[in-house]
Chains A and B, each alone.
Chain A
Amino acid sequence: MAFRQKHLLGIEPLHPEEIKTVLDVADRYVELNRQANKHSDALKGLTQINMFFENSTRTQASFELAGKRLGADVMNMAMQASSIKKGETLIDTALTLNAMHPDLLVVRHPHSGAVDLLSQKVNCAVLNAGDGRHEHPTQALLDALTIRRAKGRLHRLNIAICGDIAHSRVARSNLILLGKMENRVRLVGPPTLVPEQFREFGCEIYDDMREGLKDVDVVMMLRLQKERMDGGFIPSEREYFYRYGLDAEKLAHAKPDAIVMHPGPMNRGVEIDGTIADDINRSVIQEQVEMGVAVRMAAMDLLAQNLRASRETSDQGVMV
């Protein structure tokens, strides 16, 4: 099955075969990215605009690099500094940009659902680079690719997602994706940060980290999202590290070949011990960054193919 989506707004709308398609294409881009000549013409002539309504260094750089390697004209807009400060609404911003005929819009926004809203108002492909606490699909896809390459498969694995689940769009996208690919997902963390409702998604919930990590194949750590907290979720960072920080002793409960992941940026000494993060035998954190560029290239390539196909069938030259 090919990739049929017009936008990449989340993992939820994707069929497992579509996820597989993205990962297969991304595998090819991993190879390309390791060549001396990293250039392809997949997005030649297309304009990619990165709109980040929320601070980001890594994701924005990754999308920018992905676009440039595929030959797109890439523009970054730092939206916090711009028109919203002057009172423009999200939809007006979208309409203004739409008038400039972009082909790919990469959007990050602090509110859940904002990227969906924007996608309804524009004639181009929209990629969600993170909306509030809702979804961050390319992060889940790059995590999936990292797991598939490290473990040789992306099904029937025991995966623990640990830490601040409540505020994390990464956790949501990941647990939806891993569920679709038929893995067993456990959520580990203090009950203030792991809402009970996640049980209804078929996850097991642990508030004891050692129990939660027992015999897992993959340990995904999440960043404590201090900027999304309005206080009082945990008593202190040192107690959090003591009970839920990943160190060698807790990791010993996982399978001996378990890999350690983190979407970055890390708070060393808060959710993860520095020596674990740097252990090249266990940590795949650097690979995740590498896979990020490849997955974003794959996603934009596939969306651009659909965009071109739909424009060919339409008289006006816009999507129908």
Chain B
Amino acid sequence: MTIFTNARLINPETLTDDLGWLRMEGNVIAETGTGTPPRGESIDCGGKCLAPGIVDLGVKVSEPGERHKESFASAGRAAAAGGVTTMITRPDTQSAIDTPEVLEFVRRRATEDAIVKVKHMAALTKGRAGREMVEIGFMLDAGAVAFTDCDHVVEDTKVLQRALTYARSCGALVIGHPQDPGLSKGAAVTSGKFATLRGLPAVSPMAERMGLDRDLALIEMTGVRYHFDQLTTARALPALERAKHNGLDVTAGVSIHHLTLNDLDVGDYRTFFKVKPPLRSEDDRLAMVEGVASGLIDVISSMHTPQDEESKRLPFEEAASGAVALETLLPAALRLYHSGQLSLPQLFRAMALNPATRMGLASGRLSEGAPADLVLFDADAPFVLDRFKLRSKSKNTPFDGARMQGKVIGTWVEGLRVFEG
């Protein structure tokens, strides 16, 4: 039994942020309170924040295929240091996680090497090629928590319709990337003054709404449980709101980069700012922040995508997309807290409670009986990020040299301390 005393309890279920204590019994949370803490072995939190560990939906660990970019061991260490207690990994590896056998392999690797919890998503179609659905039933039995082709949009609507229908019959959750594949083909940035000035191939933000509209029609048709991995444009939000209002089983996420950066950050062709979908305008960014505040957007993810130096040290159009973010997710999210746009409980609702609920996990909350997955952090501690100090094998962060606030003091997974800051 351990008691965390003198802690700011960030409770995403009640949306409260009160000074109090939390008693941990074995691997579960036994009790929380605000008065005098019970006696026993205790950790004095010194008035710092204690929150449910982050459940990061959409982490890429580059196993199998590109272990030099990120392994379960390195990703696990980065996650623990970033307050992430559950990584929900993407299947866009080389090769894709599209058979029960490959899923079995990554589950074994994760169990052996990762110091935080790992749940796995599987591809929706074989090879993420958009032609044949994977063995959804077998993969569910093998532990897949959701099915997604990640940034590969299934272009053939008939294939997608069948996959969604089949997934519904299995009760599987499908995750899609709302993007019109034709309009976005070859694009490196979002269209606008900046893209025009830089002469880069660009995609209209409207491509996202078109992808969203198409998928919503298919969701209505099939009744599948569906999650949009990243919504990033203001124009997509009314359609999502209508769909939720009409009772479709849909949720949506946004990446931390789209909440904290905009298209101008690319500057002089800085490839560490190349992500997919590309960074949007400031108006879009603010609309997404509002979406998170209102709860219309359910989930904030890191969209952790490790890339080695070689795939980034190229002309912008040729450079690979993606950024590592397991360790920067929390301090970047805290920018929105310090700017007064989101409260800490709202942030943890989107980073812990909602993704856990959507994935059917008991974590992500501070309530009695929930797993003792916890993060203790100092929301104010300032630092300057040095990318070479990141624990990820890949160092491709857009926040290199950025002034940030928020340091993790400790991370616990099922009652075991996995990080000490």
Give the contacts of A91-118 with B (CB-CB under 8 A). 91, 109, 111-114, 116-117
- Across the interface, do B315 and A113 meet the contact criterion of CB distance under 8 Å? yes
- Across the interface, do A172 and B197 meet the contact criterion of CB distance under 8 Å? yes
User: Is B269 on the interface with A (CB-CB < 8 A)?
Assistant: yes
User: Is A135 on the interface with B (CB-CB < 8 A)?
Assistant: yes
Residues of A near B197 (CB, < 8 A) are: 12, 172, 201
User: Is A69 on the interface with B (CB-CB < 8 A)?
Assistant: no
Give the contacts of B284-314 with A (CB-CB under 8 A). 310, 313-314
- Across the interface, do A112 and B314 meet the contact criterion of CB distance under 8 Å? no
Residues of A near B313 (CB, < 8 A) are: 89, 91, 117
Q: How many residues of A contact B (CB 8 A)?
A: 24
Residues of B near A89 (CB, < 8 A) are: 310, 313-314
B186, B192, B316 pick with most chain A CB within 10 angstroms: B316
- Across the interface, do A197 and B195 meet the contact criterion of CB distance under 8 Å? yes
Closest-by-CB residue of A relative to B310 is A89
User: Is B361 on the interface with A (CB-CB < 8 A)?
Assistant: no
**How many angstroms between the C-alpha atoms of A172 and B197 in the bound complex?**
7
- Across the interface, do B317 and A116 meet the contact criterion of CB distance under 8 Å? no
- Across the interface, do B200 and A197 meet the contact criterion of CB distance under 8 Å? no
Residues of A near B196 (CB, < 8 A) are: 172, 195, 197-198, 200-201
User: Is B191 on the interface with A (CB-CB < 8 A)?
Assistant: yes
- Across the interface, do B191 and A195 meet the contact criterion of CB distance under 8 Å? yes
- Across the interface, do A113 and B268 meet the contact criterion of CB distance under 8 Å? yes
- Across the interface, do B316 and A112 meet the contact criterion of CB distance under 8 Å? yes
Contact string, A35-65, partner B, CB cutoff 8 A, digits 1/0?
0000000000000000000000000000000
User: Is A169 on the interface with B (CB-CB < 8 A)?
Assistant: yes
Contact string, B198-216, partner A, CB cutoff 8 A, digits 1/0?
1110000000000000000
User: Is B44 on the interface with A (CB-CB < 8 A)?
Assistant: no
A135 in contact with B199 given A113-B268, A117-B269, A195-B191 (CB within 8 Å): yes
User: A12 → chain B, closest Cβ, in Å?
Assistant: 8
- Across the interface, do A134 and B198 meet the contact criterion of CB distance under 8 Å? yes
A112 in contact with B191 given A89-B310, A89-B314, A90-B315 (CB within 8 Å): no
User: Is A68 on the interface with B (CB-CB < 8 A)?
Assistant: no
Residues of A near B242 (CB, < 8 A) are: none
User: Is A133 on the interface with B (CB-CB < 8 A)?
Assistant: yes
**How many angstroms between the C-alpha atoms of A252 and B39 in the bound complex?**
95
**How many angstroms between the C-alpha atoms of A89 and B198 in the bound complex?**
22
Contact partner of A114 (CB less than 8 A), chosen from B192, B193, B315, is: B315
User: Is B318 on the interface with A (CB-CB < 8 A)?
Assistant: yes
Count contacts between A and B, CB distance < 8 Å. Answer: 64
**How many angstroms between the C-alpha atoms of A47 and B191 in the bound complex?**
40
Residues of B in contact with A, size category: 10 to 19
User: B262 → chain A, closest Cβ, in Å?
Assistant: 16
Contact string, A165-203, partner B, CB cutoff 8 A, digits 1/0?
000010010000000000000000000000101101100
Contact partner of B191 (CB less than 8 A), chosen from A12, A91, A169, A197, is: A197
**How many angstroms between the C-alpha atoms of A230 and B317 in the bound complex?**
16
**How many angstroms between the C-alpha atoms of A91 and B310 in the bound complex?**
10
- Across the interface, do B315 and A111 meet the contact criterion of CB distance under 8 Å? yes
User: B207 → chain A, closest Cβ, in Å?
Assistant: 15
Closest-by-CB residue of A relative to B196 is A197
User: Is A71 on the interface with B (CB-CB < 8 A)?
Assistant: no
A117 in contact with B193 given A112-B198, A112-B200, A132-B199 (CB within 8 Å): no
**How many angstroms between the C-alpha atoms of A159 and B192 in the bound complex?**
24
Contact string, A190-219, partner B, CB cutoff 8 A, digits 1/0?
000001011011000000000000000000
B192, B197, B315, B316 pick with most chain A CB within 10 angstroms: B315
Residues of B near A91 (CB, < 8 A) are: 313-314
User: A235 → chain B, closest Cβ, in Å?
Assistant: 19
**How many angstroms between the C-alpha atoms of A132 and B318 in the bound complex?**
12
B196, B200, B268, B316 pick with most chain A CB within 10 angstroms: B196
User: B41 → chain A, closest Cβ, in Å?
Assistant: 55
Residues of A near B317 (CB, < 8 A) are: 111-113, 132
**How many angstroms between the C-alpha atoms of A200 and B197 in the bound complex?**
10
Contact partner of A172 (CB less than 8 A), chosen from B191, B199, B310, is: B199
Closest-by-CB residue of B relative to A165 is B196
**How many angstroms between the C-alpha atoms of A91 and B319 in the bound complex?**
13
A109 in contact with B315 given A132-B199, A134-B199 (CB within 8 Å): yes
Residues of B near A111 (CB, < 8 A) are: 315-318
- Across the interface, do B200 and A113 meet the contact criterion of CB distance under 8 Å? yes
Contact string, A274-313, partner B, CB cutoff 8 A, digits 1/0?
0000000000000000000000000000000000000000
**How many angstroms between the C-alpha atoms of A117 and B198 in the bound complex?**
13
**How many angstroms between the C-alpha atoms of A201 and B317 in the bound complex?**
23
Contact string, B82-106, partner A, CB cutoff 8 A, digits 1/0?
0000000000000000000000000
**How many angstroms between the C-alpha atoms of A230 and B196 in the bound complex?**
18
**How many angstroms between the C-alpha atoms of A117 and B319 in the bound complex?**
12
A113 in contact with B191 given A89-B313, A91-B313, A135-B199 (CB within 8 Å): no
Give the contacts of B178-236 with A (CB-CB under 8 A). 186, 191-193, 195-200
**How many angstroms between the C-alpha atoms of A117 and B199 in the bound complex?**
15
Residues of A near B315 (CB, < 8 A) are: 90, 109, 111-114, 117, 132
State the A residues within 8 Å of B (CB). 12, 89-91, 109, 111-114, 116-117, 131-135, 169, 172, 195, 197-198, 200-201, 230
A-B residue pairs, 5 tightest by C-beta: A113-B269, A133-B199, A134-B199, A111-B315, A114-B315
**A-B contact sample (11 more), CB < 8 A, given A112-B317, A113-B269, A132-B199:** A90-B315, A109-B315, A112-B315, A113-B315, A117-B314, A132-B315, A134-B200, A195-B196, A197-B193, A200-B193, A201-B193
24 sampled A-B residue pairs with Cβ under 8 A: A89-B314, A90-B314, A91-B313, A109-B315, A111-B315, A111-B316, A112-B198, A112-B315, A113-B199, A113-B200, A113-B316, A113-B317, A117-B269, A117-B314, A131-B199, A132-B317, A135-B199, A172-B196, A195-B191, A195-B196, A197-B191, A197-B192, A201-B196, A230-B186
